[in-house]
Amino acid sequence: MNDQIGEPDFAGWRLEHSYAELPSIFFTRQEPQPVRAPGLVLLNAELAEELGLRTDELRSPAGVGLLSGCRTLPGSKPLAQAYAGHQFGYFTMLGDGRALLLGEQRTPDGKLVDIQLKGSGRTPYSRSGDGRAALGPMLREYVISEAMHGLGIPTTRSLAVVTTGQPIQRERELPGAVLTRVAASHLRVGTFQFAAAKGSKEELQVLADYAIGRHDPELQKADQPYLALLNRVISRQASLIASWQLVGFVHGVMNTDNMTISGETIDYGPCAFMDTYDPATVFSSIDSQGRYAYGNQPAIAVWNLARLAEALLPLLHEEQERAVALAEQALAAFSDLYRQHWLAGMTRKLGLFQPVPEDEQLVSGLLRIMETARADYTHTFRLLTLGDLESSRLQIADAEGYGEWRSRWQERLGQQPESAEQARELMKRSNPAVIPRNHRVEEALEAAEQGELAPLHRLLAALRDPYAYSAEQESYTELPPQDCAYRTYCGT
Ligand code: AMP
Ligand code: MG
């Protein structure tokens, strides 16, 4: 049994339970399973403040008890969400196998955000899993999700990581941990697939209405709210995937259950940032076909969105043929939306304020040179930003075609009304000096697992404002050691 905390508003918690009002097929009520010895490892003070939470109380035994699943708030209704999903193309019934929604926090500025414990024990959706998570992967999710936030990319956030004092069995025995994840919601493409597969049309509609209420309340008055919802999700995902491409982020497991309705990045399992520019980059050990390779992410997003459109068909039109035509029309917009975001972002990375269609050639010209020269993606844009070829030579400086490309770029920069200084400022805002490089993340996680947290805190500090170009960030801009073929693992 979990001990209850006396006050429902302890530490500033103001939990609502709107998801728990949905039809019962969408969740199973479940209490978190208490752990042996909860210990706070990381607490995100800045996020806590945004949520209206008091960190001194969160750090207290009762606070850490709550963040580890040992204690609950009076009146809280923890639940595991049901969802389905295409995993590597195959449809499966899923659900929170190791996560629980504690409720939705009403923030001081009136927003409603999901508070979820990840690694909090078995649920009816656990299948053969143990419902638990290891410390390393939970710290990794904390670091990468907060880095994405720093980069300005929509993402779920990480409020805290606590250790459980209970080892878990993976390839070897690992310390167990619980992550507190904060999300605009945990509604996924797979939640709609679940509704379409398991629910009635009414239940599907209730879910769609709920999604509209959470993310797009102004669509309640639209002529065709469900088509409008589909369009919104398509447009948010087009923007999101473009922002991943711009920073070289490889999600690694773009299954439909890992794609949100809110447009936030979710599920930091096998993800990693690309070092050497190569569209075929894959980090996940289980993605042998390269389905989720860097260069495939936009195409996979459309594929996933088509699964969302299919699930929504009964709500789009009474006649199936009309519904399919509407869905196809909506999906067809993705490609242009994506290209607009991508080109706008890429030209900003080159210091150009007003993209023109010909700029696409300038951008692809550079990417081709980078690919041939096996240049580091982030490093190249950082050095172009610093414009300081003499002191730190670009890897591509001697590559064939670079000189010619550079002249074309300089000429294009010279044609715009903005000054060189303004262009450089734009480039600084658009090209991160630091990303969570795999070797630096691993180094920090290994130290943390040995109880040494300083490297992790330094890394988090460097990633807070990746566009600062500060002296403290300098050491994090270094390239990984050569021949470091980085691999990530699922089943985290
Ligand atoms: P993911 O690969 O993290 O998107 O997870 C896919 C599915 O597996 C989800 O339904 C998870 O809840 C479930 N899952 C992952 N790890 C575990 C675990 N250790 N125990 C139970 N379920 C898990
Ligand atoms: Mg997932």
Token pair, residue 292, equals 């989720």
Ligand of minimum distance to the alpha carbon of 100: 1
Known binding residues are 95, 97-98, 118, 130-131, 181, 188, 258, 267
Q: How many Å apart are CA 290 and CA 278, to the nearest integer?
A: 12
Mutate which of 27, 33, 125 for ligand 1 pocket (most atoms within 8 A of beta carbon): 125
For the CA of 96, the closest atom of ligand 1 is 12
Residues 99/116, Cβ–Cβ less than 8 Å: yes
Q: What is the pLDDT of residue 6?
A: 84
CA of 98 to the centre of ligand 1 (A): 6
CA of 286 to the centre of ligand 1 (A): 15
For the CA of 257, the closest atom of ligand 1 is 4
CA of 44 to the centre of ligand 2 (A): 22
> Which entry of 216, 257, 287, 359 is annotated as an active-site residue?
257
CB atoms near residue 438 (< 10 Å): 18
| Residues 6+ away with beta carbon under 8 Å from 11 | 53, 54, 57, 58, 62, 63, 66
3-class state of residue 296 by DSSP: helix
- Residue 191 backbone phi and psi in degrees, to 5: -65, -40
Which residue has the CA at smallest separation from atom 8 of ligand 1? 97
CA of 309 to the centre of ligand 2 (A): 20
Q: What is the pLDDT of residue 492?
A: 56
For the CA of 490, the closest atom of ligand 1 is 2
Q: What is the pLDDT of residue 33?
A: 95
pTM over 0.85: yes
Which residue has the CA at smallest separation from atom 14 of ligand 1? 97
Q: How many Å apart are CA 161 and CA 146, to the nearest integer?
A: 13
Known binding residues for Mg(2+) are 258, 267
Q: What is the pLDDT of residue 448?
A: 97
Instruction: State yes or no: is 257 an active-site residue.
Output: yes
For the CA of 130, the closest atom of ligand 1 is 20
Ligand of minimum distance to the alpha carbon of 98: 1
Ligand of minimum distance to the alpha carbon of 266: 2
Residue extents of the structural domains in the chain: 3-186, 190-347
CA of 159 to the centre of ligand 1 (A): 20
Using DSSP, how many helices (H) and how many strands (E) does the chain show? 15, 15
Of the candidates 164, 167, 52, which has an alpha carbon nearest to the alpha carbon of residue 118?
164
Residue 329's alpha-carbon distances to 25, 227, 231, 234, 335, in angstroms, are 31, 10, 10, 11, 12
Name the H helices within 393-451.
402-415, 420-430, 438-449
Token pair, residue 210, equals 């709920």
Question: In angstroms, how far is CA 297 from the centroid of its own chain?
Answer: 13
Mutate which of 79, 94, 123, 135 for ligand 1 pocket (most atoms within 8 A of beta carbon): 94
CA of 19 to the centre of ligand 2 (A): 18
Q: How many Å apart are CA 188 and CA 179, to the nearest integer?
A: 19
- Residue 296 backbone phi and psi in degrees, to 5: -90, -10
Largest pairwise CA distance in the chain: 70
- CB-based burial label for 469 (10 Å; 0-12, 13-18, 19+): middle
Q: How many Å apart are CA 80 and CA 198, to the nearest integer?
A: 16
Residues 250/274, Cβ–Cβ less than 8 Å: yes
- Residue 321 backbone phi and psi in degrees, to 5: -60, -40
DSSP 61-129: HHHHHHHHTSEE-TT---EEEP-EEEETTEEEE---SSEEEEEEEE-TTS-EEEEEEES----TT-TTS
Per-residue pLDDT of the chain (492 residues; tens, 9 = 90+): 678 888 989 999 999 999 999 999 999 999 999 999 999 999 999 999 999 999 999 999 999 999 999 999 998 999 999 999 999 999 999 999 999 999 999 999 999 999 999 999 999 999 999 999 999 999 999 999 999 999 999 999 999 999 999 999 999 999 999 999 999 999 999 999 999 999 999 999 999 999 999 999 999 999 999 999 999 999 999 999 999 999 999 999 999 999 999 999 999 999 999 999 999 999 999 999 999 999 999 999 999 999 999 999 999 999 999 999 999 999 999 999 999 999 999 999 999 999 999 999 999 999 999 999 999 999 999 999 998 655 567 889 889 999 999 999 999 999 999 999 999 999 999 999 999 999 999 999 999 999 999 999 999 999 999 999 999 999 999 998 875 677 887 555
Q: What is the pLDDT of residue 392?
A: 62
Q: What is the pLDDT of residue 484?
A: 62
For the CA of 123, the closest atom of ligand 1 is 21
Ligand of minimum distance to the alpha carbon of 169: 1
Count Cβ neighbours within 10 Å for each residue of 291-306 and write b for 16 or more, e otherwise: bbbbebbbebbbbbbb
Residues 371/405, Cβ–Cβ less than 8 Å: no
Known binding residues for ATP are 95, 97-98, 118, 130-131, 181, 188, 267
For ligand 1, residues with CB inside 6 Å are 94-98, 125-126, 129-132, 253, 257-258, 267, 269, 490
